Amino acid sequence: MPSIPTRSIDGRWLAAAVVVLYGLLFAEGVRSLGVEQTLYAAGVPSVGAPFSDLYIFPSAATEFSRGGNPYVSNPTDPWGRPYNYPKVWLLFMRFPFAGVPLLGFAIGAAWLATVAVALGRLAPGQGVIAGVLVCSPPAALAIERGNTDLLIFIIVAAALACLGRRWRGPAWLLVFAGAVLKVYPAAVFAAFLRPGCRRAWAWLAAGIAAFAIWAGLHFGEFQSIARTTPTGGPAVSYGSTVVFSIAEKLHGDRTGEWGAYVGEAWLGRVAAVLLAAGLFWAGVGRRARTGGTPVPAVESPERTVGPGVDRALVGFYAGAGIYVATFIIGSNFAYRQIFLLFCLPWLLRRGAGYGLQGLRTTAAAILFLLLWANPMWWIPLLALRETAAWSLVGILAYLVGAAFRAESEARNIDGPNAPSFASG
């Protein structure tokens, strides 16, 4: 009698168990030690109130209604912070100060549910890893602050779900909406540039053009946002300019003089561009064959919707694109690293992986190190975290190039597709 194949438990249940256990431990810590000490133990710097980033919206709406300019002065904000979002946010982020706690809990819960859906079915071990990363300090910081990156994550996840079903129009609109709200989701337009989509270049060009027009029409607003957007200290930030912030602080603490390194931060951006571009093209130049046998374009039916649509790989392109783009731009609060979770299913997936299994595993290990090496616990971890952050930029750029090349080659063997970097 033939045996009936067994199906292992969905790792997302184990991820949920890890998150619930973490929540229970956090609650016990609050009961025993208090909120401030528990947050510090979790690697989260507190500003004195939960969901603090949401208070900026009712305060800005109040100031606008009074005829003021919250980009310049926002006195009703509890921390006196100037408004640093496009005005379009105030079309739907309309709630009183008293509504912040409920909204903060709702956004956090919605984000956790979105992560579970976006990751897709996982193996048990993968689920445990995912659960631990969801509890990492950057993710905890995003939830504790009620930061709007959680909402952008949900929008990007919806766009990727549409791409997985070949609903490119709705996906394009969602990515454009995210870019209008916070700029950096524009990097997700690169996910449209995939083999098998004959209009890929048109979708990408339309996204770039539409966002450029929007940015041009709201240039003054963007200037105000750039001027008022705060940057966190090195312990809670990542990006190409953070190393110069570290050098500036060390120099200032030692000599009492400031300004020696800030003006050189552009060198970090140039270095990040060269690193990402160089390794991307090195990946593109990699032959994706072993012994003359092409690597299959799609490896996991569980992550596929429709012929040839690999949702794990699309998610990897999006997550890697956001991380590399934001790293190049400069200093970002650590909570923006939550978008690396989109990379996880493809990095952890078992199988040939276009012959990139070893490098994918390395990238996953560095990602884990980046999210959990928190200098708040031990300042020498700052050097380790910076090394991980720069290394991940290069490895992700290489993997994007290599995966696109391999996917393109495999598809060209099966039939004509465009665009493609494959030659010969």
* pTM of model > 0.75: yes
Say if residue 125's pLDDT is above 50: yes
> What pLDDT, in 10s, does the model give residues 70-88?
999 999 999 999 999 999 9
Q: What value does the mean pLDDT of the chain take?
A: 86
DSSP per position, 159-176: HHHHHHTT-HHHHHHHHH
Q: Residue 292 has what pLDDT? A: 39
Neighbours of 226 (CB within 10 A): 10
Rounded CA-CA distance 337/237 in Å is 10
Whole-number Å distance between alpha carbons of 132 and 21: 10
Rounded (5°) CA angle 244-247-248:
85
pLDDT bin (cut points 50, 70, 90) of residue 139 is very high
pLDDT band at 228; cut points 50, 70, 90: confident
Residue with tokens 């105000």: 224
Nearest to 283 by CA among 189, 205, 393: 393
- Residue 283: pLDDT band by 50, 70, 90 thresholds? very high
User: With DSSP H G I counted as helix, E B as strand and the rest as coil, what are the percentages for the chain, rounded to 5?
Assistant: 70, 0, 30
pLDDT, tens only, 182-200: 999 999 988 887 655 567 7
pLDDT for 410 equals: 67
Single-letter code of the amino acid located at 334 = A
Annotated domain spans of the chain:
11-414
Residue 35 has pLDDT above 50, yes or no: yes
3-state SS assignment for residue 305: coil
Average pLDDT over residues 290-317: 57
pLDDT at 193: 73
Q: What whole-number distance in Å separates Cα of residue 356 and Cα of residue 403?
A: 8
**85 vs 65: CA distance, rounded Å:** 16
Contact call for residues 176 and 162 (beta carbons, < 8 A)? no
Question: Is the CB of residue 112 less than 8 Å from the CB of residue 91?
Answer: no
Q: How far is CA 293 from the centre of its chain?
A: 34
Q: Which of 232-236, 351-355, 413-417 has the lowest mean pLDDT?
A: 413-417
**CA 30, 33, 39, 41 torsion-angle sign:** negative
Average pLDDT over residues 25-42: 95
CA distance 413 to 69: 59
**Residue position matching structure tokens 């200032």:** 252
Instruction: Note whether 419 and 347 are within 8 A (CB).
Output: no
To 5 degrees, how large is the angle CA 93–CA 235–CA 25? 75
Query: What distance in Å separates the CA atoms of residue 156 and residue 316, rounded to the nearest whole number?
Result: 12
Q: Are 395 and 359 in contact (CB under 8 A)?
A: yes
Per-residue CA distances from 331 to 19, 45, 99, 269, 346 (Å): 29, 17, 31, 10, 27
**pLDDT for 16 beyond 70:** yes
List, in order, residues 6 or more apart from 251 with CB less than 8 Å away: 257, 258, 260, 261
- Name, in order, each residue with C-beta under 8 angstroms of 145's C-beta and a sequence gap of 6 or more: 47, 51, 52, 53, 335
The pLDDT of residue 245 is above 70: yes
Mean pLDDT of 156-172: 92
> Beta strands 293-294 and 237-238: pairing type?
unpaired
What is the DSSP annotation of 72-96? T--TTSTT-PPP-S-GGGGGT----
Beta bridge mates, 238: 332
What DSSP character marks residue 211?
H
Return phi, psi of residue 75, to 5°.
-65, -20
pLDDT tens-digit readout, 369-415: 999 999 999 988 999 999 999 999 999 999 999 988 887 776 654 44
